[in-house]
Amino acid sequence: MESSSPVALITGASRGIGRGIALELAGAGYDIVVNYTTRPEAAAETAHGVEERGRRVLIARADVASREDRESMIAETREAFGRIDVLVNNAALSSLVRVDILDAPEESFDRVLAVNLKGPFFLTQAVGRWMVEIRKRDRARRLHIVNISSISEYTASVLRGDYCVAKAGLGMLTQLFADSLAPHSICVNEVRPGIIATDMTAGVKEKYDRLIAEGLTPLRRWGQPEDVARAVRALVGGDFDFTTGAAIDVDGGFHIRRL
């Protein structure tokens, strides 16, 4: 039976930015699919937060790089809710090792590209097909896909080149699927976070504390997962239904070219 509430599937939702998005959308009235790969206890914490906001939740363990896992997660979502209204491609890995690209190992490249680019590509393809089915039955339903990219999409970091390449590819993925799905009134956009306080950046906190204090970003503070989450909520909430293929910078002004 189809849920009476809109449903959002968020990959990598057990912690960090993904958790922030899950809780924000739950607060906005969405039932949530919490995807995770490791740390089931963290996924359970996110799920508890969703339930505290009065929404239904499904915890779905799936490695987005795996076709079988993606198919299983979509099947679980169909069974639990019978619908999907929002897909947020958030799951991502940083480089397995931080070394100059002249020494970067192929194993890291393969894994990072598989999770950060291949996974979102084929998950968007599968969910996009499902959304097209939904659109044929319901012309009024609001359907959105949001990709969480990064300032690394356009900012070179030679110590984690595979991550930068994957995020740059995610920007083009947004453009491609926005074009493909536009005839079905399905919007595809991206949010580009800057320096956000998460587990991924915890190891470089001292470095970025200094750089932010010195003016790396015009707004001299760390970004928080909630900053990104509010941007996602705005994109899917109805105010941007004539916007597709766009990128929203949530980076404290990092993208401004300054002298």
Specify whether 36 is catalytic. Answer: no
- Nearby residues of 64 by Cβ (< 8 Å), 6 or more positions away: 11, 35, 37, 70, 89, 91, 115, 119, 120, 123
Residues 6+ apart with CB under 8 A from 259: none
Say which of 30, 154, 163, 208 is annotated catalytic.
Answer: 163
Exposure string over 225-254, b if 16+ CB within 10 A, otherwise e: bebbbbbbbebbbeeeeeebbebbbbbbeb
Q: How far apart are CA 125 and CA 100, in angstroms?
A: 33
Q: What is the DSSP letter of 184?
A: G
Distance CA 65, CA 185 (A): 27
Q: Which residues are catalytic?
A: 163
